[in-house]
Each structure stands twice: as structure tokens, then as C-alpha cells.
């Protein structure tokens, strides 16, 4: 996405999910193939890319919940919950 001129938020990341909503490991939404965590059967986690039409910087509004692009550009946030199986990955939250 970045080579195509879009920004990708680096201040937030995906995460493990289990008994608690946010657990280890932290799963960055960027990186290089072959780097990062090793996925193992039994892991359940969320990926949460946030893509914007402008720069990568974001800011929090005064409600301490809402995140917006610092330059006012358009943005989109997607989230998928995934479970790693011995045969691959199961998408737990498919979009239909």
C-alpha cells in the first residue's frame, strides 16, 4: 500500500486475542516477509491495518478514543480475527 502512495499507521498494531481482548503477541501491520513473529497452530489474533490517503501520522481526539489522521486525509480501518490451524489460517470474522 505504501508504494502506491497510501499511508499505513505504525502507531497501532494487531494483537493476540483469548481470555482478554488484547493479549500478546503484538502483530504489526507492516514489515518485511520472513521477519516478525512465527505463526503456530493454536494462535488466535487480530490484524488491524489502518490505511490513509495521506501521511501516516494520527492523533487522538479529546474523547481519548477517536483516532483521526493528523493531516485530515481520508482513512479506513479493517479488522480480522484469525485462528492458526495445522492446515493454515481460519478467518473467524469473514466479511460477506
User: Over its length of 96 residues, how does the chain's per-residue pLDDT go in tens digits?
Assistant: 666 788 888 888 999 999 998 999 999 988 888 888 889 999 999 999 899 998 889 999 999 999 999 999 999 998 999 999 999 999 999 887
Q: What is the pLDDT of residue 31?
A: 85
* Radius of gyration in angstroms for the set of CA atoms belonging to the chain, rounded to a whole number: 15
In Å, how far from its chain's centre is CA 8?
10
Burial group, residue 50, by CB count within 10 angstroms (0-12, 13-18, 19+): buried
**How many of the other CB atoms lie within 10 Å of CB of 82?**
19
Q: What is the pLDDT of residue 95?
A: 80
Domain residue ranges of the chain, discontinuous segments joined by +: 2-91
Instruction: Classify domain 2-91 at the CATH topology level.
Output: Creatine Amidinohydrolase (3.90.230)
Q: What is the pLDDT of residue 92?
A: 95
Q: What is the pLDDT of residue 74?
A: 95
Amino acid at each position: 500500500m505504501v508504494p502506491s502512495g497510501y499511508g499505513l499507521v505504525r502507531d497501532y498494531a494487531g494483537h493476540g486475542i483469548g481470555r482478554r481482548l488484547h493479549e500478546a503477541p503484538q502483530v504489526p501491520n507492516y514489515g518485511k516477509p520472513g521477519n516478525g513473529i512465527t505463526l503456530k497452530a493454536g494462535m488466535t489474533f487480530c490484524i488491524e491495518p489502518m490505511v490513509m490517503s495521506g501521511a501516516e501520522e494520527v492523533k487522538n481526539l479529546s474523547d481519548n478514543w477517536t483516532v483521526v489522521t493528523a493531516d485530515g486525509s481520508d482513512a479506513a480501518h479493517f479488522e480480522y480475527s484469525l485462528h492458526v490451524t495445522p492446515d493454515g489460517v481460519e478467518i473467524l470474522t469473514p466479511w460477506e
